[in-house]
Amino acid sequence: MVFATEQKSFGFKKEGSRGVAEAAPDKFLAVGADANIDYTQTPIPDEKVRGSKARFPSAPGPKAAAGTIPDIDVEAGTIGDLLLGCLGGVATTQPDAGGAPSVFEHVFTRSDSVQLPSYTMFLARGLHTKKYPLGTFKKLSFAGAVDGKATVSADVVAKKEEDAAGFTPNFGAPKPLMFFKTDFRIDGVSDLNVRSWSLDIDNNAEGLRTLSLSQDPRDIIAKGKFIIEGGFEIYFETDAQRQNFLANQAAALEIILTGENIEAGFDNQLRLALPGVRYTAFPLGNLDDLLGAAVTYAVEQELGLGKDIEATLINAVGSL
């Protein structure tokens, strides 16, 4: 018997004790068919010379668990866990606890801790179900086009692979954040000439290896700098931002994705604020026979602002 990719499902649960695997997932994501976490072992070859061209047996080497969960629709109800896992910091409040008790605001910021939130990740493939403790959302790659849903792809790393009990995923009604409710702002002003955008957030998480009597890493840590970069396509009506690029002047970008109403005038919404963008390319190019630019940028922390990225999520989820 063979197994179809449609039998694959992905779930996760935040760990109560770091690195201690949870028994079952409590949250689920609809993902692309290529979603996978691969558990590998890298043999240590025997390169010694013994007067023969024969290859002698290799020794067991380090093991690693990593993969990509692609093509996730950005939804207000589910994106918060990924943002918390990647950025590491969140503050949750209620904008109007009396008039809108179902509405919560979560503000995500980058954490300087080397230990980011850990999750046990579960992947059912039809053939079997596996779980991956000490899972970390290493990188989030957002994208939004002129004619579709906002999507995100998550690169993940984990400590190891273990057998898990089968589970039945529980999905709510799809509520993707769409192109026709996307507001792209440059220096505080909505720019109606942008036709697509992307944003990558990479915390550089990796395995910490010590002599811990195991082939698996001891922990998953983020010891390097965050790399936040992206791009957008824009038609030219003015070259003011291109002049900022040539002068290496900072710009502020804000991407606002709005969904359906929750209650009392509050809508589901995700706001991605990048107050310190430096353009790395702003060419005079051709976009569908119109003068435009495929812009790329890198995010830096502007002195006095105290932050390089802030994501604000409004939804009906009380805690993450």
pLDDT over 80 (residue 303)? no
- Region label for 221, one of left (φ > 0), alpha (ψ between -120 and 50) or beta (otherwise): beta
pLDDT band of residue 213 (cuts 50, 70, 90) is very high
- Residue 259 makes CB contacts below 8 A (sequence gap 6+) with 75, 76, 175, 177, 181, 267, 268, 269
Question: What average pLDDT does this structure show over 247-270?
Answer: 97
Domain, as residue range, for 310:
9-38+67-164+176-315
Dump the DSSP string for 35-91. Answer: -EEEEEE--B------SS-PPPPPBP--EEEEEEEEEEE-BTTTHHHHHHHHHEEEE
Q: Scan for tokens 């589901």, then name that residue.
A: 268
pLDDT over 90 (residue 301)? no
Question: What average pLDDT does this structure show over 113-118?
Answer: 97
19-52 residue pLDDT tens: 999 999 999 999 999 999 999 999 999 999 999 9
pLDDT band of residue 126 (cuts 50, 70, 90) is confident
Q: Scan for tokens 């790395």, then name that residue.
A: 280
The CA-atom distances, in angstroms, between 95 and each of 4, 89, 101, 103 are 45, 19, 9, 7
pLDDT band of residue 6 (cuts 50, 70, 90) is confident
Domain assignment present for residue 320? The answer is no
Residue type (1 letter), 115: Q
Q: What pLDDT sits at residue 71? A: 97
Question: What average pLDDT does this structure show over 196-216?
Answer: 97
Tally the C-alpha atoms within 13 A of residue 200's C-alpha that lie toward its C-beta. Answer: 12
pLDDT band of residue 187 (cuts 50, 70, 90) is very high
- Residue 211 makes CB contacts below 8 A (sequence gap 6+) with none
Mean of the per-residue pLDDT values for the chain? 96
Number of domains in the chain: 1
CA distance 276 to 310: 11
Domain assignment present for residue 4? The answer is no
pLDDT over 90 (residue 302)? no
Tell me phi and psi for residue 271, to 5 degrees: -115, 120
Q: Higher pLDDT residue, 305 or 231?
A: 231
Q: How far apart are the first and last CA of the chain?
A: 39
Q: What pLDDT sits at residue 306? A: 74
Q: Is 175 helix (H, G, I), strand (E, B) or coil?
A: coil
Domain assignment present for residue 160? The answer is yes
Domain assignment present for residue 57? The answer is no
The CA-atom distances, in angstroms, between 210 and each of 117, 119, 222, 223, 295 are 21, 21, 16, 15, 42
Domain assignment present for residue 182? The answer is yes
Domain assignment present for residue 169? The answer is no
Q: What pLDDT sits at residue 145? A: 95
Domain assignment present for residue 269? The answer is yes
pLDDT band of residue 270 (cuts 50, 70, 90) is very high
Q: What is the DSSP letter of 150?
A: -
User: Do residues 307 and 67 touch, judged by C-beta distance below 8 A?
Assistant: no
127-160 residue pLDDT tens: 899 999 999 999 999 999 999 999 999 999 999 9
Question: What average pLDDT does this structure show over 283-293?
Answer: 96
